[in-house]
Structure 1
Amino acid sequence: MLYLTDDNVRAVQRTVNPKTQTRRVVKLPHNNPLGVWEPTVIGSPNGGRTSAGETIPEQGGIWHTRTGDNLMCPYGQPGDRLWCREAWCHLSDVRTNDPGGDALQRRVFYRADYPGDTLMHDDDPAEKIKWRSSRFMPRWASRISLEIVSVRVERLNDISDADAEAEGWPGFTDDNGLDSMAWYSELWDSLNASRGHSWQANPYVWRIEFRRLP
Structure 2
Amino acid sequence: MAIKPILFNTEMARAILDGRKSCTRRLIKTRRKDACGFYVTRRIDGSFAGIYEYDENESMFDNPLEPPYQPGDILYVRETFAWCPCWDCGMDTEQGACTDHIYHSEKKEYGCYMYRASCEDNEYPSADTWHPSIHMPKEAARIWLKVTDVRVERLQEIDEDGAWNEGFRFTTPCLTRISADGHTCDLDGPCTSPIKYCDMTMGELFGRELWNSTIKKSDLDRYGWNANPWVWVIEFELCEKPKGEN
State the 1:194 CA deviation.
Answer: 2.1
Q: TM-score, normalised by structure 1?
A: 0.74
Matched residues in 1 for 2:53 and 2:204: separation?
Answer: 32
Alignment of 1:1-214 (within 5 A): 1-15=5-19, 18-30=20-32, 32=34, 36-41=37-42, 60-64=49-53, 66=59, 67-74=61-68, 76-92=69-85, 99-100=89-90, 103-105=107-109, 107-115=112-120, 118-120=122-124, 128=127, 130-170=129-169, 173-174=170-171, 176=173, 180-185=202-207, 186-194=209-217, 196=219, 197-214=223-240
Does the residue aligned with 1:112 lie in a helix, a strand or coil? coil
Matched residues in 2 for 1:12 and 1:119: separation?
Answer: 25
Matched residues in 2 for 1:145 and 1:3: separation?
Answer: 12
Question: Is residue 60–residue 153 contact of structure 1 (8 Å, CA) maintained in 2?
Answer: no
User: RMSD of the alignment, in Å?
Assistant: 2.8
Task: Specify the code of the residue in structure 2 equivalent to 1:192.
Answer: I
Deviations 1:5-55 (A, max 9, x none): 00001111114xx1111011102113647x85212258xxxxxxxxxxxxx
Question: Is residue 82–residue 114 contact of structure 2 (8 Å, CA) maintained in 1?
Answer: yes
Deviations 1:79-131 (A, max 9, x none): 11111100111123xx6x7855794436211011135x52525xxxxx65510
Matched residues in 2 for 1:82 and 1:41: separation?
Answer: 26
Q: TM-score, normalised by structure 2?
A: 0.65
Question: Is residue 72–residue 147 contact of structure 2 (8 Å, CA) maintained in 1?
Answer: yes
State the 1:149 CA deviation.
Answer: 0.8
Distance 1:194 1:36, change over 3 A: closer
Matched residues in 2 for 1:129 and 1:59: separation?
Answer: 44
Matched residues in 2 for 1:146 and 1:209: separation?
Answer: 10
Question: Is residue 10–residue 117 contact of structure 2 (8 Å, CA) maintained in 1?
Answer: yes
Q: Specify every segment of 5 or more residues in structure 2 that has no aligned partner in the other structure, as ranges.
A: 93-106, 176-196, 241-246
Q: How many residue pairs align between the two structures?
A: 184
Distance 1:181 1:79, change over 3 A: same
**Percent identity of paired positions between Structure 1 and Structure 2:** 31
Q: Specify every segment of 5 or more residues in structure 1 that has no aligned partner in the other structure, as ranges.
A: 43-57, 122-126
Q: Tell which structure's C-alpha radius of gyration is larger.
A: 2
Distance 1:181 1:175, change over 3 A: same
Does the residue aligned with 1:165 lie in a helix, a strand or coil? helix
Question: Is residue 169–residue 180 contact of structure 1 (8 Å, CA) maintained in 2?
Answer: no
Question: Is residue 120–residue 129 contact of structure 1 (8 Å, CA) maintained in 2?
Answer: no
Matched residues in 1 for 2:88 and 2:63: separation?
Answer: 55
Deviations 1:129-151 (A, max 9, x none): 51012122111110111111111
